Structure 1
């Protein structure tokens, strides 16, 4: 699976170019599935925000990039359905778009529904994450980013990459999300990490990891 890990969606030409390089075809020929599940785990992500993400009405461009089609994949519903009802749609999709919210909650439901086990077989699929939708692919998010408490109390996520992610650096509505705070956060982890602002994304294709940015970011080697 190829990954585009963003803080706030595909907001500028640098991130758009990184996405285009990962896709198998032009955007208008690619099918996408939107995953809003992470939002339900965050106390500040209202149902209105969930609809705005799915409808392409938010300030974080994801579903409104000109895809050939966009479907809705709600992970909390999948355990109650036969796999043959939803699995073909997931395998056919070129892109999976994961919203922000709570990364640990998203990781929990990805494991519960079987999507986490499926990801290694989706070799040509592109995962485009936003905030928690990006952090879920990392080994850990750190306790400060946990809003929802999993049964085991752990901040560990899926670990498809070997680095952690601190999003929304210097966001005007998040006064605690400054680079100094990101540096302190990184020091508590046992792996490398990136701190990125909303104009930055990290593209992962196999062993290749590249930063696409029109903003600012910092790498912490761990």
Structure 2
């Protein structure tokens, strides 16, 4: 897959340009599926939050970008309907828009649904992550971000990329998300770890990482 791992969606022109580059065609010609699952696992998640994400009425632009088509893929429903139905939906999508919430809850349902097993075959599909939707691709999210308790009882995620992410750096509504706290977080991560603000994203193509930013960020444990 091609990855665009954001803190808060497509917040600026640079991130939007990176998305179009990964798609290889205009957004208006691209079919999208949005995945709201992570929001249900976080203490701050709610049905209203899921609705706002899906309908493009949140502060994290993803679903409202002008897609040719937009559908909803709820991972918790997939085990009950069988892959013969939902796998073609995923294969036909140009992009998966993966909302925020709890990264380990999302990780659990990616495994339970079978979506994670499908990812290696989606060579041209673009994964656009928002906060937890980005962090789930990491080997570890850090104990600081564990809310929902996974069966494994640790902070391990999918490990599709070899780095971890601390999103929402210096966010005005998250006073605990300072650079000093990010540095403490990174000290517990045994590998590369990026702290990024909401104007920053990580573009990953064939394992190569490119920083897309109109804000600020820092790489720890390089």
TM range (shorter): over 0.9
**Hey, what's the Cα distance between the residues in 2 that align with 1:112 and 1:145?**
21
Partner of residue 195, structure 1: 195
RMSD: 0.7
TM-score for the superposition, normalised by structure 1: 0.99
Residue 139 of structure 1 pairs with residue 139 of structure 2: yes
CA displacement at 1:20 relative to structure 2: 1.1
CA displacement at 1:211 relative to structure 2: 0.6
**Hey, what's the Cα distance between the residues in 2 that align with 1:172 and 1:132?**
19
Residues 56-96 of structure 1 deviation map (CA, whole Å, 9 limit, x = unaligned): 11110000111100000000000011211111010010000
Q: Map of 1:142-161 to 2, 5 A cutoff? A: 142-161=142-161
CA displacement at 1:207 relative to structure 2: 2.6
Residue 221 of structure 1 pairs with residue 206 of structure 2: no
CA displacement at 1:24 relative to structure 2: 2.7
Partner of residue 124, structure 2: 124
Residue 83 of structure 1 pairs with residue 83 of structure 2: yes
**Hey, what's the Cα distance between the residues in 1 that align with 2:152 and 2:138?**
18
Report if the CA contact (8 A) 2:161-2:207 is conserved: no
Partner of residue 26, structure 2: 26
TM-score for the superposition, normalised by structure 2: 0.99
Unaligned 5+ runs, structure 1: none
Report if the CA contact (8 A) 1:193-1:221 is conserved: yes
Between Structure 1 and Structure 2, how many residues are aligned? Answer: 222
**Hey, what's the Cα distance between the residues in 1 that align with 2:50 and 2:152?**
27
**Hey, what's the Cα distance between the residues in 1 that align with 2:188 and 2:82?**
41
